[in-house]
Amino acid sequence: MTGVFSPSVPDLPLTGLAVPDAAFEAQLREVLRSDVEFIAIIGEDLAAAGGKRVRPLVTLLAAQSLGTLPDDPHWNDVLRLSVCVELLHSASLLHDDLIDDSDKRRGQETAFRRFGNVVSVMSGDFMLARLLGELSTMPRSPALTREFGRAASVICEGEVLQFQVASYADYSFENYLQVIQGKTAALLELAAQAPALLLGAGEAECEALRVFGHEYGMAFQMQDDLLDLFGTEAQIGKPVGGDLHEGKATYPTLLLLGGPHDAEVREILERRAAQPGDVERVLTLARQERADEQTREEIRRRAAAAIRALDVLPPSPARRALEALAQREIQRPH
Can you tell me the distance from the alpha carbon of 246 to that of 160, in angstroms, rounded to the nearest whole number? 14
Alpha-carbon distance values, 105 to 58, 94, 123, 252, 264 (Å): 22, 9, 16, 26, 34
Could you tell me the end-to-end alpha-carbon distance of the chain, in angstroms, rounded to an integer? 29
Output the pLDDT for position 7. Answer: 34
Confidence at residue 234, expressed as pLDDT on a 0 to 100 scale: 79
- Which neighbouring-strand residues pair with 2? 18
The string of pLDDT tens digits covering residues 74-83 is: 999 999 999 9
Between 200 and 44, residue with greater pLDDT:
200
Alpha-carbon dihedral sign for residues 13, 15, 17, 22: positive
Q: 14-23, 27-36, 88-97: which has the minimum mean pLDDT?
A: 88-97
Confidence of residue 8 (pLDDT cuts 50, 70, 90): very low
Are 192 and 213 spatial neighbours (Cβ–Cβ below 8 Å)?
yes
- Is residue 213 within 8 A of residue 325, CB to CB? The reply is no
pLDDT category, 116, cuts 50, 70, 90? low
Neighbours of 108 (CB within 10 A): 13
Q: What is the mean pLDDT of the chain?
A: 90
DSSP 185: I
Global confidence as pTM? 0.91
Whether 56 and 86 have beta carbons less than 8 Å apart is answered as yes
Q: Count CB neighbours of 270 within 10 A.
A: 13
* pLDDT at residue 149, rounded to an integer: 97
Question: Residue 221: which of 310, 302, 287, 308 has the closest Cα?
Answer: 302
Task: Identify the pLDDT of residue 120.
Answer: 80
Contact 38, 118 (CB under 8 A): no
Kindly report which listed range (36-45, 101-110, 150-159, 202-211) carries the lowest average pLDDT score.
101-110
Confidence check: pLDDT of 11 > 80: no
* Gyration radius from the chain CA atoms: 20
Residue 1's Cβ-count burial label (10 Å; 0-12, 13-18, 19+) is middle
